[in-house]
Amino acid sequence: GQNIDQPTEMTATEGAIVQINCTYQTSGFNGLFWYQQHAGEAPTFLSYNVLDGLEEKGRFSSFLSRSKGYSYLLLKELQMKDSASYLCAGLDSNYQLIWGAGTKLIIKP
Amino acid sequence: GAVVSQHPSRVICKSGTSVKIECRSLDFQATTMFWYRQFPKQSLMLMATSNEGSKATYEQGVEKDKFLINHASLTLSTLTVTSAHPEDSSFYICSARGTSDYNEQFFGPGTRLTVL
């Protein structure tokens, strides 16, 4: 079956760095997405990886290892507004998104 | 960037009534639109995939006669919750897939449905 695993909740300190891990099993693979979702709002796109390696975009970076079925989202210089849920989603062979349950990130001052 | 609008943002209705939610892609043509439902503290659940001009494909466990989806044009899809009941209260989110290289889905802002 298809499955996306990520931690349920993480806590980090303002100004610090946090890494949110995601492992995936999909029928075929056409890439991996990370979305940010604030409470009561729709998800917003953060990153997309389809090749192995690190993609950096400002304070956020995303890494993919296809051989390991593994990705992580790295957030640097954490700000209070980064408190949100982070959703990992794999794109399968039918170009359907398979969603993880999301990681709730709590930022403390 | 691509913008998807959703209307209404919030709706409260009585049990037994029907509610229509509209999803529009404002600055691009969306051949495929997706409807999701999200219960509190849970992840997105795909309900159905709709392609313009054809019948929607529903996920297992989603009643197609209860959740009517119409994708009449490349910029508009509607979801009608028929004979709504309190257990249908949820956050309904649509997304539209454009024609970018990596099939990104652009999400609407969501509709909070409360059935009394």
The pLDDT tens digits of the residues spanning B49-80 come to: 998 888 899 999 999 999 999 988 889 999 99
Determine contact, residues B69/B79, Cβ cutoff 8 Å: yes
Instruction: Say if the Cβ atoms of B44 and A43 lie within 8 Å.
Output: yes
Minimum-distance CB partner of A42 among B42, B49, B110: B110
Torsion on CA atoms B71, B15, B10, B61, rounded to nearest 10: -50
Q: Is residue A54 within a helix (H) or strand (E), and if so which, with residue range?
A: strand A53-57
Return the number of CB contacts < 8 Å for A and B. Answer: 43
Determine contact, residues B23/B78, Cβ cutoff 8 Å: yes
Residue numbers of A between 12 and 71 with CB closer than 8 Å to B: 30-31, 33, 35, 40-45, 48, 50
Residue B98, beta-bridge partner list: none
Residue B83 has pLDDT above 90, yes or no: yes
pLDDT at A51: 93
pLDDT at B74: 87
Q: Residue B53, Cβ neighbours under 10 Å: how many?
A: 10
Low-confidence ranges of chain A (pLDDT < 70): none
Could you identify the residue written with the tokens 């404002």? B26
Chain B neighbors of A43, CB-CB under 8 A: 44, 93, 107
Residue B102 has pLDDT above 70, yes or no: no
Q: Is residue A62 within a helix (H) or strand (E), and if so which, with residue range?
A: strand A60-65
Residue B42 has pLDDT above 90, yes or no: no
